[in-house]
């Protein structure tokens, strides 16, 4: 008996670490400590469950060896792969990794719901509320699993949006929702002892729905989708906590569910879009036609490396606008080199970072920090827009949609209203780009045709290396 009390105490401590950890995670100075604190709490909760949970097989039972062997193998396997994956993944691929881990958490919840459902049907006929909880956990877990996997595939560029989107996809999703609601109703109240089979059918449909739910949403919106699915998994963990009368699962799950929802809303705000708009309206698809008027008949001005180097070296202030292109080319360190060179020649270099630069809010800050760019040189959208007008040269490296003037002055553009970096206010703009291809959102960018803009074509890393050596040679 005493040992169960001890487990309760461990769960309580873990719950406190989760709350304090999350709180610390929301401040830059304490974030790392917060994460470690939550990790310690999690370790306590898991170890406590392993050693002290009342459901653990007693020492004289014959099943003990088998179950413990299975358990430790599973923990070892998951731990090893998880650890390796987390340390091997490139910083640029971080968002899809988070998505993948989230999906697996959802999968875990869905599977435990299936096992629990079977157990309930073996022991006794389950109550309606009990069944609803189990089906709720299973549904959201399954949606989170396939949805996250698809988000992962989209961010890795493994699938094309158009290849998996059906005509009238919104309607298809609606129908699926009705089928699912019907299935839940029938399984709980109508199916009787056949409920187990119907529950499994529901599981299959839920898997399909997760996939179908994410399919029509554009790649640029994946961070929001991941955040939504993240809170979904939180809710499933909480529901599972109710099923097992387990407080740590309930508290942990609900905390994530609630904070994940807020985070989703904050992200949408950073992009100036509503959540419904992200989840229902499709972004990018219709955009190409809406802004078709700009393409074709306008000319772009190119600049060569030497001229660019001279322009940069003899200016007072330079602002760098990094985008995902910089990250993909792994050019952060070269960028920092160029920055150092210019600084040593008395040029002030600052970085203007759009909240959604990279592929997730805050992603770019992480990438630049990796290259040792000091914190005080990074400026967010509002600060940057204040100094951009007074800046001599703005260098846009692999960014596109976040510097698109259409967001400010073209109401027909799908990104109209999104806050952007007003780089065209600066005296000169150099845009480094691989080609004239449109950005992640698939929208034309007038900035490239702007009178102040000069294009420097090529791979971001390559161009930056050459540019650095040109500056050195001056």
Active-site residue, from 221, 339, 401, 446: 401
d(CA 449, CA 268): 29
Task: At 227, list the tokens.
Answer: 């955040």
Residue 297 CB, shortest distance to other proteins, in Å, is 37
Tell the burial category of 382 from Cβ atoms under 10 Å away from its Cβ (0-12, 13-18, 19+): exposed
Residue choice 183, 205, 226, 399 for contact with other proteins (CB under 8 A): 226
Q: Which of 314, 319, 328 is nearest to 353 (CA)?
A: 319
Query: Is the four-CA dihedral 109, 113, 119, 124 of positive or negative sign?
Result: positive
Name which of residues 296 to 355 contact other proteins (CB under 8 A). 355
Q: Which stretches of 89-194 are DSSP H helices? A: 94-123, 128-155, 161-164, 169-185
d(CA 20, CA 235): 20
- Residues 6+ positions from 246 with CB-CB distance below 8 Å: 11, 240
Name which of residues 228 to 287 contact other proteins (CB under 8 A). 230, 233-234, 236-238, 240-263, 266-267, 270
Query: CA angle, 311 as apex, 305 and 313 as ends, to 5°?
Result: 100
d(CA 329, CA 432): 12
Residue 314 CB, shortest distance to other proteins, in Å, is 29
Residue choice 5, 79, 298, 417 for contact with other proteins (CB under 8 A): 79
d(CA 223, CA 234): 16
Q: Which of 228, 237, 256, 11 is nearest to 113 (CA)?
A: 237
Residue 167 CB, shortest distance to other proteins, in Å, is 33
Residue 226 CB, shortest distance to other proteins, in Å, is 7
The DSSP letter of residue 279 is H
Q: Is 322 helix (H, G, I), strand (E, B) or coil?
A: strand
Point out which span in 15-23, 192-200, 338-346, 393-401 binds other proteins (CB under 8 A).
15-23
- Residues 6+ positions from 82 with CB-CB distance below 8 Å: 101
d(CA 272, CA 138): 33
Q: Is 402 in the site for other proteins (CB under 8 A)?
A: no
Nearer to other proteins, 218 or 260 (CB): 260
Name which of residues 352 to 381 contact other proteins (CB under 8 A). 355, 360-363, 365-366, 369-370, 372-375, 380
Point out which span in 13-21, 155-163, 410-418, 462-470 binds other proteins (CB under 8 A).
13-21
Task: Give the count of beta carbons closer than 10 Å to the beta carbon of residue 296.
Answer: 7
Name which of residues 16 to 75 contact other proteins (CB under 8 A). 18-19, 21-23, 25-28, 31-32, 34-36, 38-39, 42, 45-46, 49-50, 53, 55-57, 61-63, 66-67, 70-71, 73-75
Nearer to other proteins, 186 or 449 (CB): 186
Query: What residues are paired with 430 via a beta bridge?
Result: 395, 454
Name which of residues 107 to 146 contact other proteins (CB under 8 A). 107-109, 111-112, 114-116, 118-119, 127-129
Report the half-sphere exposure of 263 (CA within 13 A, side-chain side): 23
Residue 356 CB, shortest distance to other proteins, in Å, is 8
Q: Is 346 helix (H, G, I), strand (E, B) or coil?
A: coil
Backbone torsions φ then ψ of 353, nearest 5 degrees: -115, 120
Backbone torsions φ then ψ of 396, nearest 5 degrees: -95, 115
Residue 71 CB, shortest distance to other proteins, in Å, is 6
Residue 171 CB, shortest distance to other proteins, in Å, is 31
Residue 437 CB, shortest distance to other proteins, in Å, is 26
Nearer to other proteins, 206 or 263 (CB): 263
d(CA 395, CA 398): 10
Rg (CA), the chain: 26
Number of DSSP helices (H) and strands (E) in the chain, helices first = 19, 6
Nearer to other proteins, 309 or 349 (CB): 349
Active site residue 401: yes
d(CA 167, CA 164): 10
How many chain residues interact with other proteins (CB under 8 A)?
Answer: 119
Nearer to other proteins, 140 or 424 (CB): 140
Nearer to other proteins, 144 or 438 (CB): 144
Nearer to other proteins, 12 or 305 (CB): 12
Nearer to other proteins, 28 or 346 (CB): 28
Residue 362 CB, shortest distance to other proteins, in Å, is 4
Nearer to other proteins, 378 or 471 (CB): 378
Name which of residues 91 to 110 contact other proteins (CB under 8 A). 91, 94-95, 97-98, 100-102, 104-105, 107-109
Active-site residue list: 401
């Amino acid at each position: 008996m005493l040992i169960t009390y001890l487990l309760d105490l461990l769960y309580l401590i873990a719950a406190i670490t989760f709350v304090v950890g999350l709180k610390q995670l929301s401040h830059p100075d304490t974030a790392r400590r917060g994460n470690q604190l939550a990790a310690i709490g999690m370790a306590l909760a898991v170890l406590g469950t392993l050693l002290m949970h009342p459901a653990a097989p007693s020492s004289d039972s014959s099943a003990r060896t088998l179950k413990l062997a299975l358990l430790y193998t599973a923990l070892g396997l998951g731990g090893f792969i998880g650890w390796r994956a987390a340390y091997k993944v490139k910083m640029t691929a971080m968002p899809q990794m988070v998505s993948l881990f989230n999906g697996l958490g959802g999968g875990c919840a869905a599977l435990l719901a299936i096992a629990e459902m079977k157990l309930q049907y073996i022991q006794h006929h389950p109550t309606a509320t009990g069944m609803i909880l189990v089906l709720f956990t299973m549904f959201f877990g399954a949606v989170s699993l396939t949805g996250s996997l698809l988000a992962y595939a989209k961010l890795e560029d493994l699938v094309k949006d158009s290849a998996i989107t059906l005509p009238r996809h919104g309607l298809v999703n609606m129908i699926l929702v009705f089928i699912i609601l019907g299935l839940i109703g029938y399984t709980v109240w109508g199916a009787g002892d056949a409920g187990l089979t119907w529950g499994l059918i529901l599981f299959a449909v839920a898997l399909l729905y997760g996939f179908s739910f994410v399919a029509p949403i554009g790649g640029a919106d994946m961070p929001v989708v991941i955040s939504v699915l993240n809170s979904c998994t939180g809710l499933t963990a909480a529901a599972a906590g109710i099923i097992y009368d387990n407080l740590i699962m309930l508290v942990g799950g609900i905390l994530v569910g609630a904070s994940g929802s807020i985070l989703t809303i904050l992200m949408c705000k950073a992009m100036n879009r509503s959540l419904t708009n992200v989840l229902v309206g499709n972004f990018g698809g219709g955009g190409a036609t809406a802004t078709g008027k700009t393409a074709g008949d306008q000319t772009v001005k190119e600049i060569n490396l030497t001229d660019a180097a001279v322009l940069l070296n003899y200016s007072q202030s330079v602002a760098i606008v990094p985008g995902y292109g910089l990250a993909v080319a792994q050019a952060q360190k070269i960028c920092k080199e160029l920055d150092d060179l210019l600084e040593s020649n008395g040029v002030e270099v600052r970085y203007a970072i759009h909240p959604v630069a990279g592929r997730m809010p805050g992603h770019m800050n992480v990438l630049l920090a990796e290259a040792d760019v000091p914190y005080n040189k990074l400026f967010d959208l509002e600060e940057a827009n204040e100094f951009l007008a007074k800046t001599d040269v703005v260098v846009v490296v692999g960014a596109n949609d976040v510097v698109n003037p259409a967001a400010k002055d073209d109401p027909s553009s799908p990104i109209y209203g999104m806050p952007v970096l007003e780089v065209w206010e600066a005296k000169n703009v150099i845009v480094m780009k691989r080609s004239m291809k449109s950005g992640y959102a698939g929208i034309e960018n007038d900035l490239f045709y702007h009178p102040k803009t000069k294009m420097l074509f090529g791979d971001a890393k390559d161009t930056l290396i050459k540019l650095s050596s040109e500056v050195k040679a001056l």
